[in-house]
Amino acid sequence: MIVTSLGYGYTSSFLLKEIASHGVKCIGITNNTKYYKQSSLENISIFPRSNTIKSINKSTHLVVTAPPYKNRCPILSNYKKVIKDSNIRSILYVSSTGVYGDHKGKWVHENSVIKGKNNLVNKNRIKAENSWTSFCKKNSLVLNIVRLGGIYGLGRPNINKDIFKDIIVKKDHFFSRIHVLDISRLIVNILFDSNKNSCWNLVDELPTTRKNFIERIIKLKKVKVYNFRNYEELKKNISDPKKKFWQANKKVSSQKVKKKFRYTFLFPSYMEGLKYIIKNS
């Protein structure tokens, strides 16, 4: 088993360490030179994009974390023939829970209606998911789509005094998040059991408002100076792209992946996750 991550950044750096710890050879592809430093694990190699074709041809499994470009997935557009002719038999595409769009604060699961097309970013994600589904079906490849909630972990969010200025909040508006270490462990489970096509929501067990999330940081950091601003009072001055961020209200369920892998979260909610981050940063 050789896993290549096409797109290597914050999440992939944690993910490949987790995969490699099981003795699997891992390759990361990126043009970001800060990641070129040799990993402490001998079975992880990081290469520039010019090595993409060579890496695909060496691999058995692909993890695609590269975001859509305009209205397509650049990996599929540029390398579909290479993938088709390679030894790749399993692909994991990293998407976002943003594809669900607005569900008025109700719970959503993997079979919920996709309503994210009013947001260009989410619309492109949906197109990319559909393109990978079609390609993999046509070429008899196993496809797992993982839809990530908001990602946080060491260094994310960047906790400095500026984040406590004019904190925009909206009553009863929920977001679902997940710690990067739980993402890594869950994707490893999916990769090692990747013999069927499926879709997975990767989020923790407690959707929360932005206010509650920031209040947890304030308490842990003992912040004295901060101020909250109501979205309804500010929305006239908020750009349309940022407004869409506040127009999709939902609680995302991770029951499917929990039950399938009998998974216990390292950080069941932001309460434990933020405490760990602040203690270790």
Q: Tell me the pLDDT band of 173, cut-offs 50, 70 and 90.
A: very high
Is 120 a domain residue? yes
With contact defined as beta carbons under 8 Å apart, do 280 and 181 qualify?
no
Q: How many domains does the chain have?
A: 1
> Residue 40 above 80 pLDDT?
no
Q: Tell me the pLDDT band of 24, cut-offs 50, 70 and 90.
A: very high
Is 106 a domain residue? yes
Is 132 a domain residue? yes
Is 248 a domain residue? no
pLDDT, residue 242, reads: 77
Is 246 a domain residue? no
d(CA 194, CA 58): 18
pTM: 0.93
Backbone angles phi, psi at 76, to 5 degrees: -65, -40
> Residue 194 above 80 pLDDT?
no
d(CA 22, CA 19): 6
pLDDT, residue 195, reads: 82
> Residue 38 above 70 pLDDT?
no
CATH number for the domain including 71? 3.40.50.720
pLDDT, residue 39, reads: 59
Backbone angles phi, psi at 233, to 5 degrees: -80, -20
Is 49 a domain residue? yes
Is 245 a domain residue? no
Is 216 a domain residue? no
Q: Tell me the pLDDT band of 257, cut-offs 50, 70 and 90.
A: very high
Of the candidate ranges 58-67, 213-222, 230-239, the one whose mean pLDDT is the lowest: 230-239
Distance of CA 56 to the CA centre of its chain: 22
pLDDT, residue 41, reads: 67
Domain that holds residue 29: 2-156+177-205+253-267
Residue 67, amino acid = P
The average pLDDT across 195-200 equals: 92
The average pLDDT across 161-178 equals: 90
d(CA 94, CA 73): 11
User: What is the overall mean pLDDT for the chain?
Assistant: 92
